[in-house]
Amino acid sequence: MKNIIAALVIVTFLGCRNTPTTEMANTTTDTIKTVTDGVAAVKPDSIPVKKTVKKDTIRNDKDTQMSEAFFQKATINLSDSSLTVYENIRADYRIFGYQKPDTNSRKMILFSVFTSDVENNPYKCPFGAYYYSGAMQDTKIKYVRKAGAFVEAHLVKDTDIKPTAIYLLKDWVQFDERN
């Protein structure tokens, strides 16, 4: 009797642990079965489908997950209105400059510590992707004003007369009042 109970416990334990790695999905292919009254009933087939997980963006890569303890922000120097992103391989940062003060608008520029964010400009930012602001040749970033949850800044190229506006999330910017 004890052996039977022990066997049942083991089978129950092993049976409960064994969960399928596939999901059952209903498909549009149907099987027709004839019912006794002459009317055909349609019964959907169940086919096991393997679930594959795809990365939806570059940010979901485990190597580019950011840790709040190591966040670095862009610095705005109020004495000359310059916006600077410092190069720091030990910090985590991914700072986008948007076309409008809206995170759903076009990404215009990116500063990131992650090589997969910068190499080959995978986000297709028209002004490029950089590790730090000093890597931009003949271009400076000037703070203009706060714009809701964003700060407005201008990309000023040495050869251009008209600056180009970009918007950065306020959460990724800090003000430095040193002279």
- Hunting for tokens 């430095």 — which residue is that? 176
Beta bridge partner(s), residue 30:
44
First to last CA, the chain: 86
Among 172, 176, 13, residue whose Cα is nearest residue 103: 172
What's the rounded Cα separation, in Å, for the pair 101 and 105? 8
What's the rounded Cα separation, in Å, for the pair 32 and 55? 39
The pLDDT, as a whole number, for residue 40 is 52
What's the rounded Cα separation, in Å, for the pair 99 and 103? 9
State residue 105 phi and psi, 5-degree precision.
Answer: -80, 175
The residues, any chain, with a CB within 8 Å of residue 151's CB and separated by 6 or more, are 76, 143, 144, 145, 167, 168, 170, 173
Read off the tokens for 29. Answer: 């292919």
Strands 40-50 and 74-77: unpaired
Among 158, 150, 157, residue whose Cα is nearest residue 74: 150
Task: Count CA atoms within 13 Å of residue 89 on its CB side.
Answer: 1
**DSSP secondary structure letter of residue 71:** B
Among 80, 76, 79, 88, residue whose Cα is nearest residue 170: 76
From first to last of its 179 residues, what are the pLDDT tens digits of the chain? 778 887 776 766 666 555 554 444 444 444 455 555 555 555 555 555 555 444 434 444 555 555 555 677 888 888 888 888 888 778 888 889 999 999 999 999 999 988 999 999 999 999 999 998 888 888 889 999 999 999 999 988 877 767 889 999 998 888 886 65
User: How wide is the angle at C-alpha 71 spanned by C-alphas 65 and 72, nearest 5°?
Assistant: 125
